[in-house]
Amino acid sequence: MTTVLTPASPLTAADRCDRCGAQAYLRIVLASGGELLFCAHHGRKFEPELKKIAVEIQDETGRLGTTPATADDNER
């Protein structure tokens, strides 16, 4: 059986970690049809277990090291 996944929308500041409530940078789509959101810390902590149950992992942790284009010069 082939599962077709629609592209997930980017995570925003409103998306919160299911474990601690921090901003989520990972979306884990489960085979059961649900999804989990995790901050970078908890995503790394639970990574081995998540890989076993995930059909897709949307990882946006790369955004943590970038400065938004809309940041003021004193924030760069």
pLDDT in tens, 35-57: 999 999 999 999 999 999 999 99
Question: What pLDDT sits at residue 72?
Answer: 67
Cβ-proximal residues to 64 (8 Å cutoff; 6+ apart), any chain: 25, 40
- pTM for the predicted model, two decimal places: 0.75
Q: What is the mean pLDDT of the chain?
A: 85
Supply the DSSP string of 28-42, one letter for each residue. EEETTS-EEEE-HHH
Could you tell me whether strands 26-30 and 54-59 are parallel, antiparallel, or unpaired per DSSP bridges? antiparallel
Which token pair is 24?
């989520």
Could you tell me whether strands 35-38 and 54-59 are parallel, antiparallel, or unpaired per DSSP bridges? unpaired
Question: What pLDDT sits at residue 65?
Answer: 81
User: pLDDT-derived band of residue 68, with 50, 70 and 90 as boundaries?
Assistant: low
Residue 28 in contact with residue 3, Cβ under 8 Å?
no
Residue with tokens 């277990």: 49
